[in-house]
């Protein structure tokens, strides 16, 4: 039997009984093959298609990661509301007895920002409402969070506190201690001895406009009381919903829960944060490559919007993803901004180009601003 290939009259394919292959005979006895030019063209086309497809795949993956971050914030929002239902107030950014002094597990307290035990932070306080009741029951809130008996719990990796987009680490970190300067201007960080290891959080609480960790020592006993600022002649208070020993209720948020930022993202690419607690003399320092400076203990769990009169005469409003990279600002590895949780449990994506004065307005609880159009 002979079969003639269409368009190739000189080619013949023969099939013999028992053959396991087709034998092709071309003119002049040669075999048909790709030329080098054809091969290069095919490779170029494949490379072009991959180049076009890869950004689309990456965009889909980032969309999925961002969606997971949103879901995390919503879960935490529900937990905060449930905590309020039970305790009739929202949790503090962290708790600490300002009247105590001493040494626990090698850590002296208080520092000049009046930080002391127990130090447990907002994330530890809401654990029962995040389906983490066994972990919550393992904590002794009458003992310092950094004590050796809490070492295992402090390392616990909890998915709801981690954003998949954060590229700077999610497996925990060694807490640093400032060795010179003050709580308002810490420097020369080194690890505590013995080392203290805390689990990561990619979310932080909102302290409002001013940074409580930047207060003068004389006004650090109670962050809810006004601090006079000699350079400006004004007195400042903590206008946000979270700071040490805060006891904010829904009724205190007169600007409206839907107009007040409670939590926001902070990537570990910029600095390490935790949900677990704070440590006296702790330093929160930027990762290599960032131009900002260290902050102290409360910054392990919190952020603020600025403009803070403690900073310097040229005060800065740092909206999410501000390029200076303050360790006490909200910042994410999402392109163009960061996600925040409002007091009513809703979430928003805040552009890094948002009006900075709007950002200041939504960072306060009770200053009476009217926000036209929202974030």
Q: 328-339 burial, b for 16+ CB within 10 Å, e for fewer? A: bbbbbbbeebbb
Residue 373 lies in a domain: no
My answer on whether 94 and 197 are in the same domain is yes
Instruction: Assign 37 a pLDDT band (cuts: 50, 70, 90).
Output: confident
Instruction: Assign 8 a pLDDT band (cuts: 50, 70, 90).
Output: very low
The residues near 142 (Cβ < 8 Å, ≥ 6 apart) are 118
Residue 369 lies in a domain: no
pLDDT, tens digit, for every residue of 325-346? 999 999 999 999 999 999 999 9
* Residue percentage of the chain with pLDDT more than 70: 89
Question: Who has greater pLDDT, 17 or 154?
Answer: 154
My answer on whether 266 and 323 are in the same domain is yes
- The pLDDT of residue 14 is 46
My answer on whether 15 and 111 are in the same domain is no
Residue 45 lies in a domain: no
- The pLDDT of residue 73 is 98
CA distance 227 to 13: 96
Contact assessment for residue 121 and residue 161, using Cβ atoms and an 8 Å cutoff = no
My answer on whether 6 and 84 are in the same domain is no
How many domains are contained in the chain?
2
As a whole number, mean pLDDT of residues 305-312 equals 85
Contact assessment for residue 349 and residue 374, using Cβ atoms and an 8 Å cutoff = no
Residue 117 lies in a domain: yes
Write the CA distances from 349 to 192, 272, 331, 342, integer angstroms: 37, 22, 11, 11
My answer on whether 3 and 111 are in the same domain is no
Question: Who has greater pLDDT, 47 or 109?
Answer: 109
The residues near 83 (Cβ < 8 Å, ≥ 6 apart) are 90, 91, 125, 126, 129
- The pLDDT of residue 46 is 87
- The pLDDT of residue 54 is 72
My answer on whether 321 and 185 are in the same domain is yes
Residue 94 lies in a domain: yes
- The pLDDT of residue 81 is 98
My answer on whether 217 and 137 are in the same domain is yes
Residue 42 lies in a domain: no
My answer on whether 20 and 151 are in the same domain is no
SS3 204: strand
- The pLDDT of residue 59 is 73
Task: Using the predicted structure, report yes or no on whether residue 1 has a pLDDT greater than 50.
Answer: no
My answer on whether 70 and 23 are in the same domain is no
Residue 239 lies in a domain: yes
Task: Using the predicted structure, report yes or no on whether residue 71 has a pLDDT greater than 50.
Answer: yes
Pairing status of strand 302-303 against strand 203-206: parallel
Bridge partners of 349, per DSSP, are: 339
Query: How many C-beta neighbours within 10 Å does residue 326 have?
Result: 25
Instruction: Assign 231 a pLDDT band (cuts: 50, 70, 90).
Output: confident
Task: Using the predicted structure, report yes or no on whether residue 131 has a pLDDT greater than 60.
Answer: yes
My answer on whether 22 and 77 are in the same domain is no
CA distance 109 to 119: 11
Residue 368 lies in a domain: no
As a whole number, mean pLDDT of residues 290-306 equals 96
| Residue range(s) defining the domain that contains residue 166 | 52-362
My answer on whether 75 and 9 are in the same domain is no
Task: Using the predicted structure, report yes or no on whether residue 95 has a pLDDT greater than 90.
Answer: yes
Contact assessment for residue 364 and residue 209, using Cβ atoms and an 8 Å cutoff = yes
The residues near 167 (Cβ < 8 Å, ≥ 6 apart) are 267, 268, 269, 333
pLDDT, tens digit, for every residue of 167-194? 999 999 999 999 999 999 999 999 999 9
Question: Who has greater pLDDT, 81 or 10?
Answer: 81
- The pLDDT of residue 28 is 54
Instruction: Assign 7 a pLDDT band (cuts: 50, 70, 90).
Output: very low
Run of H or E residues at 151 = helix 151-154
My answer on whether 6 and 132 are in the same domain is no
Task: Using the predicted structure, report yes or no on whether residue 87 has a pLDDT greater than 90.
Answer: yes
């Amino acid at each position: 039997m002979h079969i003639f290939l269409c368009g190739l009259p000189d080619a013949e394919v023969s099939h013999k009984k028992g053959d396991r292959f087709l034998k092709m005979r071309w003119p002049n006895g040669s075999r048909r093959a790709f030329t080098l030019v054809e091969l290069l063209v095919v490779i170029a086309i494949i490379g072009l298609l991959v180049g076009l497809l890869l950004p689309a795949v990456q965009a889909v993956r980032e969309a999925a990661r961002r969606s997971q971050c949103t879901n995390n914030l919503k879960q935490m929002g529900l937990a905060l509301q449930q905590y309020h239902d039970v305790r009739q107030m929202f949790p503090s950014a962290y708790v600490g007895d300002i009247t105590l002094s001493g040494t626990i597990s090698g850590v002296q307290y208080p520092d000049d920002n009046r930080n002391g035990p127990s130090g447990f932070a907002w994330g530890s306080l809401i654990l029962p409402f995040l389906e983490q009741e066994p972990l919550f029951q393992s904590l002794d809130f009458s003992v310092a969070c950094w004590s050796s008996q809490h070492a295992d719990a402090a390392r616990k990796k909890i998915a709801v506190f981690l954003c998949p987009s954060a590229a700077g680490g999610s497996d925990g970190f060694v807490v640093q201690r400032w060795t010179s300067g003050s709580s308002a201007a810490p420097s020369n960080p080194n690890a505590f001895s013995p080392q203290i290891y805390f689990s990561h959080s990619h979310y932080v609480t909102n302290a409002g406009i001013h940074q409580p960790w930047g207060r003068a020592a004389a006004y650090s006993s109670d962050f809810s009381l006004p601090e006079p600022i000699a350079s400006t002649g004004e007195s400042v208070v903590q206008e946000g919903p979270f700071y040490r020993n805060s006891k904010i209720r829904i009724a205190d948020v007169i600007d409206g829960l839907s107009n007040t930022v409670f939590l926001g993202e902070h990537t570990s690419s910029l600095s390490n944060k935790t949900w677990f607690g704070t440590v006296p003399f702790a330093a929160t320092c930027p990762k290599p490559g960032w131009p900002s400076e260290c902050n102290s203990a409360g910054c392990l769990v919190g952020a603020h919007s600025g403009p803070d009169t403690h900073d310097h005469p040229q005060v800065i409003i740092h909206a999410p993803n501000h390029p200076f990279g303050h360790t006490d600002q909200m910042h994410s590895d999402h392109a163009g901004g960061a996600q925040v949780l409002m007091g009513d449990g809703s979430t928003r994506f805040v552009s890094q180009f948002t009006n900075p004065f709007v950002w200041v307005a939504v960072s306060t609880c009770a200053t009476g601003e009217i926000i036209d159009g929202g974030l």
